[in-house]
């Protein structure tokens, strides 16, 4: 077969004997911009086919048929004289230089007698810390321009896209675990080098090989910021899933993403090594949001992103169980780096002030760069970290993979409506257990479930406390009728979710473990995160001394009360510590930061008490 291809190439060149076409350019080191001499440059030609609708079809260029080859001169320049028989064809270059990462260039325009000179840069394979700093700054400056255009264009993209549910009519409903049909070709409109926005008016329009396209997106999004292959593979899968959603909605896949014509070998491999890999939740492709830089400590919940950062930093959005706030890599935020637009927000998990560049939801690009370079995470771990409860199709190498199709289903049709501030006396279910695990705990439940619901009338902290029960009952707050959509923090005395939204339905599940059956009392409250006066303190005298305290406190209780454990929360409702109460009622609080906190204690009768604690 290779011999036949070689003969065809030779014949093709022999019969192309008319006027010449010139392809020329120069090669430079991306860091110091010095010319790169004696680099090997291979040129391949390929056709773009047309289908009956006159739309072009761009496959991944093949390397079997080499048309021409040359080397760069002492000034880094190269020159290809081609015959005019190549007019109307497309070119692909492969550049190989010692001590540099191999680079690929694929044109999106037909060869003509006048072909603009190419200026290409190569990245050294080994660089010092100072060179890395220079390289990151160079690439980040270019990325900043792309992100500025993307930030301005984001409202237009969201306005064009249909609701996520509209895509359901197009998707594969086979019901197979972690399987989905991913196309080989996808449609692009005015695809060009740089950010591809809604206002683009020129570039390649037609179909393109999906993996070829994804490799260009990886280079455009993070290619110049890292050469770590696992980081790039994570970006590739996120970009492919993002694009697949647009494909399923019959929209051009390139709108809203950056794309580069000149692609490093690692970016190209990221596209091919992850071929057919997309992210699913509940058997459907997720809305794979990704952003440039979160605050560094946590990403944002999907309903607390900044979606129009050029005009306002107001947070909003739609809740998705797979787009919830998760810890990030501890990188610097945009405020400390002077990036613009830099939005000041309340960080979803902590409630503290933070700064994000972009919407801050989903995969954080600065986060995966740091996780890849410093923690040596695989792309599987990065993706399942940033996208909660997803699975990755066609990824047998991923031990983190889970089946996103809920096999355990709650019956929420008879959920009891709770009123904030009013106790509800209930009885645990006697039916068989439907759920064994929830996404916000690390233990197994064996008993049946009783489901309640509440609709907050204001935004704030949803706190649910359970009391007056025997046996082993646990309480969970869910964002939907799905155990994988578990929110906030769980303790045996209740559950807390800090980011409850007004008007949204939350499901509260009382799960009876180990066959426990008991009556119980539920009390749900919606608390303003910053208002101490709205936090209900216990009337029963549980005295803390000293208070304020520095290292240790002593809990003084009435004689008929025996405390079992305490939980300490900050003013946003975030759990900071939890431990059993020793016989002497002395608690070490030296690990707490300075500030005002709430100490929740539970006694032997499962009664709960809340007391204010001040740490100096």
Arithmetic mean of pLDDT over the chain: 81
Contacts of 443 (CB under 8 A, 6+ apart): none
Where are the CATH 2.60.120.380 domain residues in the chain? 416-530
Is the pLDDT at 159 greater than 60? The verdict is no
Contact 68, 43 (CB under 8 A): yes
pLDDT (0 to 100) of residue 572 = 59
Model confidence, pTM: 0.65
Contact 608, 563 (CB under 8 A): no
Nearest to 19 by CA among 111, 94, 117: 111
Angstrom distances, CA of residue 102 to CA of 49, 105, 267, 310, 521: 28, 10, 10, 37, 66
User: Per the CATH hierarchy, to which homologous superfamily does domain 2-122 belong?
Assistant: Immunoglobulins (2.60.40.10)
DSSP letter assigned to residue 581: P
Q: In whole angstroms, what is the distance from residue 325 CA to residue 320 CA?
A: 11
Token pair for 503: 């008007």
Share of residues in the chain with pLDDT > 70 (%) = 82
Q: How many CA atoms lie within 13 A of 173 on its CB side?
A: 4
Cis peptide before 86 (omega within 30 of 0): no
Cβ neighbours of 143 (radius 10 Å): 23
Question: What is the distance in angstroms between the CA of the first residue and the CA of the last residue of the chain?
Answer: 79
Q: Which of the pair, 338 or 106, is modelled with greater confidence? A: 106
The residue-averaged pLDDT of 431-458 equals 80
pLDDT (0 to 100) of residue 4 = 32
Is the pLDDT at 298 greater than 50? The verdict is yes
Q: How far is CA 224 from the centre of its chain?
A: 20
Q: Which of the pair, 104 or 304, is modelled with greater confidence? A: 104
Angstrom distances, CA of residue 574 to CA of 174, 351, 470, 490: 41, 9, 27, 11
pLDDT (0 to 100) of residue 397 = 87
The residue-averaged pLDDT of 189-204 equals 86
Q: In whole angstroms, what is the distance from residue 85 CA to residue 15 CA?
A: 8
DSSP 161-187: SPPGGGGGGGS-----TT-----SEEE
pLDDT band at 153 (very low <50, low <70, confident <90, very high): low
Share of residues in the chain with pLDDT > 90 (%) = 33
The residue-averaged pLDDT of 246-265 equals 92
pLDDT band at 90 (very low <50, low <70, confident <90, very high): confident
Is the pLDDT at 266 greater than 90? The verdict is yes
Residue 130's Cβ-count burial label (10 Å; 0-12, 13-18, 19+) is: exposed
Residue owning tokens 């093949």: 62
Token pair for 383: 């993706």
Is the pLDDT at 39 greater than 80? The verdict is yes
DSSP 288-322: --EESB--SSB-B-GGGEES-TTT---EE----TT
Domain 416-530 in CATH 3.40.50.620? no
DSSP 326-388: -B------HHHHT-SS-EEEE-TTT-SEEEEBS--BSEEHHHHHHIIIII---HHHHHHHHST
pLDDT (0 to 100) of residue 166 = 41
Is the pLDDT at 487 greater than 50? The verdict is yes
Is the pLDDT at 259 greater than 90? The verdict is yes
pLDDT (0 to 100) of residue 12 = 46
Most confident option among 90-99, 150-159, 512-521: 90-99
Is the pLDDT at 1 greater than 70? The verdict is no
Contact 302, 315 (CB under 8 A): no
Q: Of how many residues is the chain composed?
A: 616
pLDDT band at 536 (very low <50, low <70, confident <90, very high): very low
pLDDT band at 172 (very low <50, low <70, confident <90, very high): very low
Q: Which of the pair, 448 or 392, is modelled with greater confidence? A: 392
Contact 361, 302 (CB under 8 A): yes
Domain at 543-615: CATH architecture: Sandwich (2.60)
pLDDT (0 to 100) of residue 428 = 81
pLDDT (0 to 100) of residue 192 = 92
Is the pLDDT at 14 greater than 60? The verdict is no
Where are the CATH 2.60.40.1930 domain residues in the chain? 543-615
Which neighbouring-strand residues pair with 124? 100
Residue owning tokens 């399942």: 384
Cβ neighbours of 233 (radius 10 Å): 26
pLDDT band at 215 (very low <50, low <70, confident <90, very high): very high
Where are the CATH 2.60.40.10 domain residues in the chain? 2-122
Q: In whole angstroms, what is the distance from residue 554 CA to residue 563 CA?
A: 12
Least confident of 170-184, 219-233, 462-476: 170-184
Residue 65's Cβ-count burial label (10 Å; 0-12, 13-18, 19+) is: middle
């Amino acid at each position: 077969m290779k011999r036949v291809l070689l003969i065809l190439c030779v014949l093709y060149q022999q019969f192309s004997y008319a006027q010449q076409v010139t392809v020329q350019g120069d090669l430079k080191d991306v860091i110091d911009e010095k010319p790169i001499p004696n680099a090997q440059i291979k040129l391949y030609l390929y056709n773009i086919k047309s289908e009956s609708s006159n739309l072009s079809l761009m496959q991944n260029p093949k390397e079997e048929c080499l048309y021409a080859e040359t080397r760069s001169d002492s000034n880094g320049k190269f020159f290809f004289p081609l015959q005019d028989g190549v007019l109307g064809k497309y070119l692909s270059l492969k550049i190989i230089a010692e001590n540099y990462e191999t680079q690929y260039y694929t044109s999106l325009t037909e060869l003509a007698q006048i072909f603009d000179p190419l200026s290409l840069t190569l990245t050294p394979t080994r660089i010092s810390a100072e060179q890395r700093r220079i390289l990151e700054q160079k690439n980040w400056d270019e990325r900043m321009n792309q992100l500025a255009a993307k930030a301005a264009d984001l409202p237009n993209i969201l306005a064009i896209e249909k609701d996520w549910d509209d895509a359901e009519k197009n998707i594969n409903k086979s019901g197979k675990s972690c399987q989905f049909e991913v196309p080989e070709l996808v449609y692009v409109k005015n695809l060009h080098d740089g950010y591809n926005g809604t206002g683009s008016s020129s570039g390649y329009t037609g179909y393109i090989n999906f993996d070829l396209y994804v490799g260009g997106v990886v280079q455009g999004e993070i290619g110049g910021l890292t050469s770590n292959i696992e980081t790039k593979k994570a970006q590739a899968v996120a970009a492919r899933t993002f694009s697949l959603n647009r494909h399923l909605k019959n929209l051009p896949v390139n709108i809203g993403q950056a794309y580069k014509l000149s692609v490093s070998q690692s970016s190209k491999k990221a596209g091919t090594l992850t071929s057919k890999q997309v992210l699913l939740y509940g058997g459907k492709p997720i809305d794979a949001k990704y952003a440039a830089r979160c605050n560094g400590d946590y990403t944002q919940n999907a309903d607390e992103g900044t979606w129009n950062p050029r005009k306002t930093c107001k947070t909003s959005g739609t809740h998705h169980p797979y787009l919830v706030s998760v810890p990030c890599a501890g990188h610097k935020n945009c405020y400390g780096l002077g990036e613009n637009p830099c939005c000041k927000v309340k960080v979803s998990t902590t409630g503290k002030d933070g700064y994000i560049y972009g919407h801050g939801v989903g995969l954080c690009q600065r986060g995966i760069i740091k996780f890849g370079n410093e923690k040596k995470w695989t792309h599987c771990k990065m993706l399942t970290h940033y996208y909660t409860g997803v699975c990755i199709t066609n990824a047998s190498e991923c031990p983190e993979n889970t089946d996103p199709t809920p096999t355990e289903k709650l019956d929420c049709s008879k959920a009891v409506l709770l009123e904030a501030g009013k106790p509800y006396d209930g009885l645990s279910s006697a039916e068989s257990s439907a759920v064994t695990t929830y996404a916000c705990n690390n233990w197994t439940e064996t008993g049946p479930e009783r489901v309640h619901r509440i609709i907050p009338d204001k935004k704030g902290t949803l706190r649910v406390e359970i009391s007056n029960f025997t046996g082993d009952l646990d309480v969970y707050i869910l964002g939907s009728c799905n155990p994988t959509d578990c929110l906030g923090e769980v303790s045996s005395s209740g559950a807390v979710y800090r980011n409850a939204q007004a008007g949204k339905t939350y499901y509260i599940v009382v799960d009876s473990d180990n066959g426990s059956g008991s009556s119980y009392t539920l009390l749900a409250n919606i608390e303003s995160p910053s208002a101490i006066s709205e936090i209900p303190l216990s009337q029963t005298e549980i005295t803390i001394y000293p208070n304020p305290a520095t290292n240790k406190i002593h809990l003084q209780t009435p004689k008929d009360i025996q405390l079992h454990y305490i939980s300490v929360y900050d003013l946003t409702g975030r759990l900071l510590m939890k431990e059993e109460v020793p016989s002497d009622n002395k608690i070490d609080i030296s690990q707490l930061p300075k500030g005002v906190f709430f100490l929740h204690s539970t006694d032997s009768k499962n009664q709960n008490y809340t007391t204010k604690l001040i740490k100096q």
